[in-house]
């Protein structure tokens, strides 16, 4: 089995990164994590990646100012130098330009802490609570230029409990994130999930019911 070479892009804690690293240790996992890149030199996730024996790179976005493409050209160079085939965003808090996204279309995944298309953007847990949502969740999707809008590969729905705070809800969602991101990466790395004409096809069929309930009913 030839395993796809994957880079994970982080900005912070890196718990989704850790979940992917751990899943990729399984001998039958169809992808290997070859590189972790952070735009934030202080990202706590970097130490975890290094401890796991994975190459890391820091590309601080700040010297590039408003020139997002210049930052991304550097990033692209590092990805090419490491012969990366798939890129997973895992708490990577930088908007990517169409220049970069088009280079990786169908090979660039993101995880977002909501049931997209609900609650795009930030503060998803507080907004779900304020909206009185009964359930909330997480989505892994292919990245397209428009933020948090690409075709869905996997979703997990979790209940909202009475008395939840943004933090308690975030913790429940995060656990679901750690569950679905490795599943989604496995599907993409195996070529079973593909982005075709802006849709996610799984085993050649349009992905109609992507929601996985956690915990199961
Ligand atoms: C995760 O909840 C992820 O879904 C979210 O940031 C957190 C990162 O945590 N991503 C976004 O909000 C992207 N729009 P982690 O660093 O522990 O994986």
β-pair partners for 87:
7, 108
The model's pTM is 0.96
Is residue 112 lining ligand 1, measured as CB closer than 6 Å?
A: yes
- Cα separation, 163 vs 151, whole angstroms: 33
**Per residue in 128-181, pLDDT tens?**
999 999 999 999 999 999 999 999 999 999 999 999 999 999 999 999 999 999
Question: Taking the domains of the chain in order of start, what are their residue ranges?
Answer: 1-104, 112-217
Instruction: Out of 21, 90, 141, give the residue to mutate to test ligand 1, the one with the largest number of ligand atoms within 8 Å of its CB.
Output: 90
Q: 1-104 and 112-217 share one CATH topology?
A: yes
- The fold adopted by the segment(s) 112-217 is Rossmann fold (3.40.50)
Alpha helices in the chain (DSSP H): 15-23, 45-51, 68-81, 98-103, 124-130, 166-189
> Which amino acids are annotated catalytic?
112
Check: CATH 3.40.50.170 for 1-104?
yes
Atom of ligand 1 nearest to the CA of 147: 14
**Per residue in 6-54, pLDDT tens?**
999 999 999 999 999 999 999 999 999 999 999 999 999 999 999 999 9
Residues contacting residue 199 through CB under 8 Å, at least 6 positions apart: 151, 206, 207
Is residue 137 lining ligand 1, measured as CB closer than 6 Å?
A: no
């Amino acid at each position: 089995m030839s395993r796809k070479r994957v880079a994970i892009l982080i900005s912070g804690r890196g718990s989704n990164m850790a979940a992917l690293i751990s899943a990729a240790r399984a001998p039958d996992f169809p992808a290997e994590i070859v590189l972790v890149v952070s735009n934030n030199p202080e990202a706590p996730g970097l130490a975890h990646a290094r401890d796991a024996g994975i190459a890391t790179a820091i590309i601080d976005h700040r010297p590039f100012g408003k020139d997002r493409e210049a930052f991304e050209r550097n990033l692209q160079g590092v990805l090419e130098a490491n012969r990366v085939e798939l890129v997973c965003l895992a708490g990577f808090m930088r908007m990517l330009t169409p220049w970069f996204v088009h280079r990786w279309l169908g090979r660039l995944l993101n995880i977002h802490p909501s049931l997209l298309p609900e609650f795009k953007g930030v503060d998803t847990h507080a907004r779900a609570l304020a909206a009185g949502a009964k359930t909330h969740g997480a989505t892994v999707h292919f990245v397209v230029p428009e933020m948090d809008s690409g075709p869905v590969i996997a979703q997990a729905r979790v209940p909202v409990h009475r008395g939840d705070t943004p933090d308690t809800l975030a913790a429940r969602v995060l656990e679901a994130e750690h569950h679905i991101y490795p599943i989604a990466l496995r599907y993409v790395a195996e070529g079973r999930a593909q982005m075709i004409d802006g849709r996610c096809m799984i085993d050649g069929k349009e992905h109609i019911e992507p929601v996985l309930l956690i915990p199961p009913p």
